[in-house]
């Protein structure tokens, strides 16, 4: 008896060792390439450092004071939020519309439609930016078509006007990501119990009533999660801005990531790695605070929804 | 309400909107077959008069797209192998073995999802410089593999935890060790998850921009397709059709893979959202 137990123990122990061995490579990569860089960006932010030679000039929070008094930083900060607000509003709502249409099981060819609307998601953002730069250029397709159908008389300089440049950026960014957000919404739609729809049908509810009283309330929790995901990812927009407008005209589309890149890697004088890291830390903290706030909303909505679903369900059944 | 009519109108809307949706790709491919002169005069007409393949030859040979292509392939394959291997090993240990500390690791892995790693590019660049790996292909591959692959780890863990115990026991009785059982019996059964992870990571790395841009700043020979496009546009400002050919070369592999595997891909994503 005790002999078998000993044997089992020995075997279990061996399994544990194997399990640790299996995790070890991922752990090394995580510690070295994720955790270490996160910590180091905080360290760099306390130094006045060009990235060349040893890090000797400890300046404490001077970089932070410098960042906050820099007009161009606040400009980039503001632009990031304008982009995020525009992008989230447009992409989340249009994606919901597509998902509602493409969730209909009676609709033939819906897999083909989903594939078509999903296509921009898998393509390379940087290349999309370059293509769109052409399409929205002065002699590009958009001006050409708008002139042909008589909406405008003269070519509109979409990308060289500060206001329209931001609008184009938001439209192209939304076009690129709507497909994936549509898939998130479709997942949410498929999680709604079919019985609720059947009961509503028996009660003679119109499709508008079904949408308002069943579909939308039950989508609220996943909607909150989608809001969180899209907001956080759009605050880190880089590829598209770099290739479509490069922050211009006159810094009107420069976002925080572009600002960081400019100071760390593409500055005209010596690089300012310490300063750029400071902006990186601030962006990280901003994203973290917003995630917390939106995460709190996700939890709230989840709680609220559970109560709501019970009352709706009770009434309908 | 006539439901047949509604359905017909829905199709009309979806088709017209779908065409507008993919027009940039149609425009890109058609422009790549035009001459620069006809590109400027033909406006929105997508149909080229004749197929000018020389745009592709020019992009491939003169603008260095052949070497950009090779770099993209090597970097993408290297990253896919590292990421998928690491996350399937971790996923197996987490999903299958109830070792001490397992719960802690799962909680930490879950929390990592919410740590923004986008701003770590500066320390990553400095780290690669310190290791002597900046401006090398291996450095780019390592940096590309750096993200926390929480999604894949969780997918693998969930899959492996559902594999029946009997399969593993049978293999052990046949004299297979832990490692042998994993590679010969368990891993082959995880093909759908491996496929999902491979496709998703392939598309992410192929499209990656910031890391290859920064890590090849001083060595243009190592540029990937996405980064090479940018310099191409800067250098040959007026060669629109060469640009369109370059863009087609860059997007074609990823679009092909997506169309062939789209079922797997879309299901893989919606499965992971749940």
Is the Cβ pair A15, B114 closer than 8 Å? no
Chain B residues close to A232, C-beta within 8 Å: 116
Chain B residues close to A134, C-beta within 8 Å: 240, 243
Is the Cβ pair A183, B273 closer than 8 Å? yes
pLDDT confidence of residue A316: 36
Taken as a whole, chain A contains a residue count of: 317
DSSP string covering B208-223, please? --HHHHHHTTT-GGG-
- The C-alpha of B77 sits at a distance from chain A's nearest C-alpha, in angstroms, of 17
- Put simply, whether B241 touches A (Cβ < 8 Å) is no
Burial of A154 (0-12, 13-18, 19+ CB in 10 A): exposed
Q: Which residue has the tokens 């660049």?
A: B125
- Put simply, whether B203 touches A (Cβ < 8 Å) is yes
Mean pLDDT is lowest, of A191-200, B6-15, B109-118, for: B109-118
For the record, the structure tokens of B171 come out as: 């293999």
- Put simply, whether B154 touches A (Cβ < 8 Å) is no
pLDDT confidence of residue B209: 92
pLDDT confidence of residue A35: 85
Interface residue of A107, A115, A130, A147 to substitute, partner B, most B CBs within 10 Å:
A130
Burial of B193 (0-12, 13-18, 19+ CB in 10 A): buried
DSSP string covering A238-274, please? -HHHHHHTTT-STTTT--HHHHHHHHHTS-SSS--HH
For the record, the structure tokens of A61 come out as: 């929070």
What residue in B sits closest to A115 (Cα-Cα)?
B262
* Rounded (5°) CA angle A153-A159-A163: 90
**Is it true that the peptide bond before A227 is cis, omega within 30 degrees of 0?**
no
pLDDT confidence of residue B11: 93
For the record, the structure tokens of A37 come out as: 């860089």
pLDDT confidence of residue A311: 46
Interface residue of B18, B273, B274 to substitute, partner A, most A CBs within 10 Å:
B273
Residues A272-305 pLDDT 10s: 899 999 999 999 889 889 988 988 888 888 777 6
DSSP state of A151: S
* pLDDT exceeds cutoff 80 at B221: yes
Q: Phi and psi (nearest 5°) for B115?
A: -85, 120
**A positions 193-222 inside 8 Å of B (CB):** 222
Q: Check if the beta carbon of residue A199 is closer than 8 Å to that of residue A173.
A: no
Which residues in chain A come in under a pLDDT of 50?
1-2, 310-317
> What are chain B's domains?
61-270 (1.10.3720.10)
* pLDDT exceeds cutoff 80 at B114: no
What residue in B sits closest to A133 (Cα-Cα)?
B233
pLDDT confidence of residue A12: 84
Q: Which residue in the set B119, B127, B240 is minimally distant from A284, CB to CB?
A: B119
pLDDT confidence of residue B55: 86
**B positions 129-148 inside 8 Å of A (CB):** 142-143, 145-148
- Put simply, whether B37 touches A (Cβ < 8 Å) is no
Q: Which residue has the tokens 């019996």?
A: B185
Higher pLDDT, B261 or B194: B194
Q: Which residues of A214-235 are buried (b: 16+ CB within 10 A; e: fewer)?
A: bbebbbbbbbbbbbbbbbbbbb
Q: In the predicted model, what is the mean pLDDT of chain B?
A: 84
Is the Cβ pair B97, A133 closer than 8 Å? no
* pLDDT exceeds cutoff 50 at B85: yes
Closest Cα to residue B112, out of A253, A42, A183, A30? A30
Closest Cα to residue B114, out of B148, B81, B88? B148
| CA B245/CA A164 separation, integer angstroms | 28
pLDDT confidence of residue B271: 54
| CA B184/CA B205 separation, integer angstroms | 28
What residue in A sits closest to B131 (Cα-Cα)?
A32
Q: What is the ipTM metric for this complex?
A: 0.86
Interface residue of A11, A14, A23 to substitute, partner B, most B CBs within 10 Å:
A23
pLDDT confidence of residue A214: 87
| CA B175/CA B177 separation, integer angstroms | 6
Q: Check if the beta carbon of residue A166 is closer than 8 Å to that of residue A79.
A: yes
pLDDT confidence of residue B240: 82
Closest Cα to residue B21, out of A233, A175, A23, A237? A175
- Put simply, whether A40 touches B (Cβ < 8 Å) is yes
Q: Where are the domains of chain A?
A: 76-311
Is the Cβ pair B233, A133 closer than 8 Å? yes
Distant-in-sequence, close-in-space partners of B60: CB < 8 Å, separation ≥ 6: B66, B249
Averaged over B249-274, what is the pLDDT?
73
| Range A76-311 has CATH code 1.10.3720.10 | yes
pLDDT confidence of residue B188: 87
* pLDDT exceeds cutoff 70 at B37: yes
> What is the Cα B195 distance to its own chain's centre?
12
Is the Cβ pair A277, B122 closer than 8 Å? yes
Confidence of residue B225 (pLDDT cuts 50, 70, 90): very high
> What is the Cα A105 distance to its own chain's centre?
29
pLDDT confidence of residue B75: 96
- Residue A202, CB-side half-sphere exposure with 13 Å CA sphere: 9
């Amino acid at each position: 008896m005790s002999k078998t137990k000993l044997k089992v123990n020995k075997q279990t122990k061996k399994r544990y060792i194997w399990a640790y061995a299996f995790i070890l490579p991922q752990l090394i990569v995580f510690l070295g390439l994720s955790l270490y860089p996160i910590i180091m960006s905080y360290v760099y932010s306390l130094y006045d450092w060009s990235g060349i030679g040893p890090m000797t000039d400890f300046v404490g929070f001077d970089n932070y004071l410098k960042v906050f008094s820099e007009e161009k930083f606040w400009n980039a900060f503001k632009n990031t939020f304008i982009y995020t607000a525009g992008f989230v509003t447009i992409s989340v709502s249009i994606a919901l519309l597509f998902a509602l249409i493409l969730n209909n099981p009676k609709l033939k060819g819906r897999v083909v439609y989903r594939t078509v609307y999903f296509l921009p998601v898998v393509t390379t953002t940087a290349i999309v930016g370059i293509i769109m730069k052409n399409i929205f250029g002065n002699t590009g397709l958009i001006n050409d078509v708008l002139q042909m159908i008589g909406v405008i008389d003269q070519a509109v300089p979409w990308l060289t006007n500060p206001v329209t440049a931001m609008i184009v950026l938001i439209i192209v960014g939304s076009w690129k990501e709507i497909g994936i957000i549509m898939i998130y919404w479709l997942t949410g739609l498929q999680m709604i119990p079919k019985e609720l729809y059947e009961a509503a049908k028996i009660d003679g509810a119109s499709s508008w009533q079904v949408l308002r009283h069943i579909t939308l309330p039950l989508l609220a929790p996943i909607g909150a999660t989608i809001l969180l995901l899209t907001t956080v990812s759009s605050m880190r927009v880089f590829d598209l801005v770099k290739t479509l407008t490069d922050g211009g005209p006159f810094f009107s589309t420069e976002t925080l990531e572009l600002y960081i890149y400019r100071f760390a890697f593409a500055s005209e004088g010596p690089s300012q790695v310490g300063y750029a890291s400071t902006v990186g830390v601030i962006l990280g903290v901003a994203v973290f605070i917003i995630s917390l706030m939106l995460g709190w909303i996700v939890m709230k909505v989840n709680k609220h929804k559970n109560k709501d679903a019970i009352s709706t369900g009770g009434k309908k059944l | 309400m006539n439901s047949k009519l509604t359905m017909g109108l829905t199709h009309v809307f979806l088709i017209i909107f779908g065409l507008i949706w993919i027009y940039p790709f149609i425009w890109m491919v058609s422009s790549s077959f035009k001459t620069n002169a006809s590109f400027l005069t033909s406006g929105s007409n997508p149909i080229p008069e004749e197929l000018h393949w020389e745009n592709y030859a020019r992009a491939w040979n003169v603008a260095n797209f052949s070497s950009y292509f090779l770099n993209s392939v090597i970097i993408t394959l290297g990253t896919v192998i590292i990421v998928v291997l690491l996350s399937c090993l971790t996923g197996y240990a987490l999903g299958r073995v109830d070792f001490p500390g397992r719960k802690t690791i799962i909680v930490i892995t879950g929390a990592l999802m919410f740590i923004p790693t986008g701003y770590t590019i500066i320390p990553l660049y400095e780290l690669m410089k310190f290791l002597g790996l900046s401006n090398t292909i291996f450095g780019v591959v390592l940096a590309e593999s750096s993200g926390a692959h929480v999604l894949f780890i969780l997918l693998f863990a969930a899959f492996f935890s559902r594999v029946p115990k009997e399969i593993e026991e049978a293999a052990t009785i046949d004299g297979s060790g832990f490692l042998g059982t994993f590679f010969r019996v368990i891993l082959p059964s995880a093909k759908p998850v491996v496929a999902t992870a491979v496709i998703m990571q392939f598309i992410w790395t192929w499209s990656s921009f910031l890391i290859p841009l920064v890590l090849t700043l001083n060595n243009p020979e190592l540029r990937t397709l996405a980064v090479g496009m940018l310099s191409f546009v800067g250098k040959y400002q007026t060669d629109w059709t060469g640009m369109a050919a370059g863009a087609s070369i860059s997007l074609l592999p990823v679009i092909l893979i997506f169309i062939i595997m789209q079922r797997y891909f879309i299901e893989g994503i919606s499965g992971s959202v749940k």
